[in-house]
């Protein structure tokens, strides 16, 4: 289990963009379960007029995705921590595929993200998973791809056309994982088709 | 400029929306100037600001909500992110142009939106295919 202080030490994010509170379980290379408590004092609820209906306080879907993505980032960081060049790396969201919202989450709810690691291809990590409040499903995602990029590459003005989602080099498939039918290969093939539209 | 928000949102994610009728649906154009003093941006990241990719999804959410407006007291909400591709970063000082094709709206009050976010230097930053629905018609 990781407490908030340890989450802060791991993620490059700072307040109020740290959208995780606790890691309940973590198996590097496999799975993470992490929670985030939604409260009405968060910035997304400021400046709203009085008298709005309950559903206007639904936690914004983009923040649900970000919170899930931060759980995935911790899973990735703990999976690759023995590898070189992680210090300078920032994990950027590259692809979201079929994220389905099942119900709204509200202030008072505790989100529980269950994230499974599908694959690591070069500097890209591919995860799948779901978010629940209690036993109720909030969202599921077929696949989310994040790409680790050095800060220098992200910020360099001369490199503004660099595509975050592109692998930094030739795709590397870990030993023991099928290359032809892997999720990553399928996703990359789909992405190429999409780009060619 | 867009007025005060009437639903929870991490930032005012869109400015200057125009909506045109196109056959069965609509075409939407919107813009957002990226600044470093947005509510959540001080934490993304503390030592260097990058517009979070998910905030581009928020821009689309707000643009669609304001352009199509309320129906039976509800704004349209995201029910499915079918496909999102983040292709380039947006930094403070950049301007993002949002181009979206919306609709048509089905009998279940849901509709698909296909959108692109283009940075002011012409680089495609985000591609999105998103399903929205008016919550009143949401299945239990």
Chain B contact for A178, CB < 8 A? Answer: no
Beta-carbon separation of A160 and B48 below 8 A: no
pLDDT at B135 over 70: yes
Instruction: Read off the pLDDT of residues B63-109 as tens digits, 9 standing for 90 and up.
Output: 999 999 988 888 999 999 999 999 999 999 999 999 999 999 999 99
Nearest to A4 by CA among A29, A40, A35: A35
Mutate to test the interface with A, among B2, B3, B70, B81 (most CBs of A within 10 A): B81
Residue A197 has pLDDT above 60, yes or no: no
CB B80 within 8 A of CB A99: yes
Range with the poorest average pLDDT among A130-139, A159-168, A171-180: A171-180
Domains in chain B, CATH or no CATH each:
15-137 (3.10.129.10)
- Model confidence at B2, pLDDT cuts 50, 70, 90, reads low
Contact in structure between B108 and A123 (CB atoms under 8 Å): no
CA distance A192 to B74: 37
Residue A16 has pLDDT above 90, yes or no: yes
Confidence of residue B47 (pLDDT cuts 50, 70, 90): confident
Q: Which residues of A touch B85 (CB under 8 A)?
A: 94-95, 165, 191, 194
pTM of the model: 0.86
Residues of A in contact with B80 (CB under 8 A): 98-101
Which DSSP string corresponds to A86-137?
Answer: -TTEEEEEEEEEEEEE-S---TT-EEEEEEEEEEEETTEEEEEEEEEETTEE
Q: What is the ipTM of this complex?
A: 0.95
Separation CA A32–CA A45 (nearest Å) = 28
Confidence at residue A84, expressed as pLDDT on a 0 to 100 scale:
60
**Which residues in chain B touch residue A16, judged by CB atoms under 8 angstroms apart?**
39-40, 42-43
Taking residues A143-166, what's their average pLDDT? Answer: 66
Q: Please say if the pLDDT value at position B128 is more than 60.
A: yes
Mean pLDDT (chain A, rounded): 82
Contact list in A for residue B9 (CB cut-off 8 A) is 44, 60
Residue A167 has a pLDDT of 40
Q: Report residue A161's pLDDT band, with 50, 70 and 90 as the boundaries.
A: very low
* Lowest-confidence region among A22-31, A89-98, A144-153, B115-124: A144-153
Which percentage of chain A shows pLDDT scores above 70? 74
**Cα separation, A47 vs A97, whole angstroms:** 32
Q: Which of B46, B57, B135 sits opposite A62 (nearest CB)?
A: B57
Predicted pLDDT of residue A4: 97
Furthest-apart CA atoms within chain B: distance in Å = 48
* Model pLDDT, residue A90: 79
Decide if pLDDT at A80 tops 80: yes
Q: Is A29 on the interface with B (CB under 8 A)?
A: no
List CB contacts of A56: < 8 A, sequence separation 6 or more: A48, B6, B7, B8
What tokens does B62 get?
């707000």
Domains located in chain A, CATH noted? 4-171 (3.10.129.10)
Q: Where are the alpha helices (DSSP H) in chain A?
A: 4-10, 61-80, 151-155, 183-195
Residues 72-131 of A with CB under 8 A from B: 90, 92-101
Partners of A49 on chain B (C-beta within 8 Å) are 4, 6
Q: Are the beta carbons of A58 and B77 separated by less than 8 Å?
A: yes
Interchain pair B127, A194: CB under 8 A? yes
B41 and chain A in contact, CB less than 8 A: yes
Nearest C-alpha in B relative to A141: B81
- Taking an 8 Å cut-off on Cβ atoms, the answer to whether A48 and B7 are in contact is yes
């Amino acid at each position: 289990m990781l407490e908030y202080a340890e989450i802060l030490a791991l993620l490059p994010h700072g307040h109020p963009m740290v959208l995780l509170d606790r890691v309940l379980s973590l198996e590097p290379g496999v799975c993470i379960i992490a929670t985030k408590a939604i409260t009405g004092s968060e910035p997304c609820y400021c400046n709203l007029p009085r008298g709005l209906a309950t559903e206007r306080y639904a936690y914004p879907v983009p923040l649900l995705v970000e919170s899930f993505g931060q759980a995935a980032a911790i899973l990735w960081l703990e999976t690759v921590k023995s590898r070189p060049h992680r210090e300078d790396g920032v994990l950027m969201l590259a692809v979201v595929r079929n994220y389905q919202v099942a119900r709204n989450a509200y202030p008072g709810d505790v989100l529980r993200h269950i994230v499974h690691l599908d694959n690591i291809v070069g500097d890209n990590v591919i995860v799948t998973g779901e978010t629940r409040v209690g036993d109720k499903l909030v969202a599921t995602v077929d696949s989310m791809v994040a790409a680790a990029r050095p800060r220098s590459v992200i910020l360099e003005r001369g490199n503004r056309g660099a595509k975050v989602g592109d692998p930094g080099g030739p795709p590397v498939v870990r030993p023991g994982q099928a290359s032809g039918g892997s999720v990553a290969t399928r996703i990359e093939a789909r992405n190429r088709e999409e780009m060619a539209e | 400029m867009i007025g005060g928000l009437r639903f929870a949102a991490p930032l005012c994610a869109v400015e200057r929306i125009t909506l045109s009728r196109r056959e069965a649906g609509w075409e939407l154009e919107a813009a957002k100037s990226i600044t470093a003093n947005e509510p959540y941006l001080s934490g993304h990241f503390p030592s260097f600001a990058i517009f979070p990719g998910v905030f581009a999804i928020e821009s689309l959410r707000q643009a669609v909500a304001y352009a199509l407006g309320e129906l039976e007291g509800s704004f349209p909400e995201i029910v499915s992110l079918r496909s999102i591709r983040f292709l380039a970063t947006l930094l403070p000082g950049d301007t993002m142009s949002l181009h979206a094709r919306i609709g048509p709206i089905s009998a279940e009050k849901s509709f698909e939106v296909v959108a692109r976010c283009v940075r002011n230097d012409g680089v495609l930053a985000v591609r999105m295919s998103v399903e929205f629905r008016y919550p009143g018609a949401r299945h239990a």
